[in-house]
Structure 1
């Protein structure tokens, strides 16, 4: 089991603090690993192989000039979700690095935003190093505000 998945399971299954507090503890720890993620204050809600979901709270610190969640904050949330997914999904003998992101902004982000990253299990078993991760951001009313693909470069670990 990956270190990130192990941390998720440990923090979300703490009997004394419960799942909600455990998810907050995980989110804080994850954001410390890559400090830029802390700027959006991600709140992970679900994490398992091939799926990651977090919430970006709508607050002044992530607003743009019209008071909605800034496009780059949305991209930061999508990349955080993708990174967590990659860490809990990648086979132990492989490594990954982001290669590019293609997104479309489809609606105003005027609420908290759920950032979701998804892959299919067979994507991680092939020999093609180019691995697309589907990403999207969803408003509180269910409207998709951003969607696209983050491409990873997945290669065998050097021995």
Structure 2
């Protein structure tokens, strides 16, 4: 199953070592360079689950000094992408189809982003990935879904 795919193998190898999670996060950001803008670090990765963190710093703040929601959405898209890559069954492929988010509170601290996929949902057609962003006190600041289109590899 997905636990034996290349992304999971790389995560399991690198995350064991000091600095390994940061190194893995940098590799993911090189694969999709726009992710570099938020400097997210992957903290946990399992099949159908990813947890990332971005630090509150000037580069991701808005005019009122909170973490800009677009930076949060960028981190959540990275969480979804690494989660999907680590989870997708052999013979399938995915592409994002849309994102729907609700801003539920101000994001005044570092932000944790979580992507979760129902393991039974991996089949051709639409697949909704649940995304959530929390501040360091556990307050939900963004919630939503990213819809993927799943198809068979040709």
Q: Same fold (TM over 0.5)?
A: yes
Distance 1:86 1:50 in 2: 7
Alignment of 1:139-154 (within 5 A): 139-154=135-150
Instruction: Specify the SS of the correspondent of 1:6.
Output: helix
CA RMSD, Structure 1 to Structure 2 (Å): 0.9
- Give the match's secondary structure for 1:108: coil
Structure 1 residues without counterparts, runs of 5 or longer: none
* Length-normalised TM-score, structure 2: 0.95
**Which of 66, 84, 90 is the matching residue for 1:68?**
66
Residue deviations 1:78-113 (CA, integer Å, cap 9, x gap): 000000010011011000000000000000010000
Structure 2: 5+ residue stretches without partners: none
Deviation at 1:43, TM superposition (A): 0.7
CA offsets per residue over residues 4-26 of structure 1, 9 Å max, x none? Answer: 21211111123xxx3xx111111
Moved over 4 A (4+): none
User: Deviations for 1:52-103, whole angstroms, at most 9, x for unmatched residues?
Assistant: 0000111000010001111110100100000001001101100000000000
> TM-score normalized by structure 1?
0.92
Q: Which residue of 1 aligns with 2:130?
A: 134
Residue among 22, 36, 39 paired with 1:38: 36
The match for 1:109 is: 107
How many residues are paired up?
Answer: 151
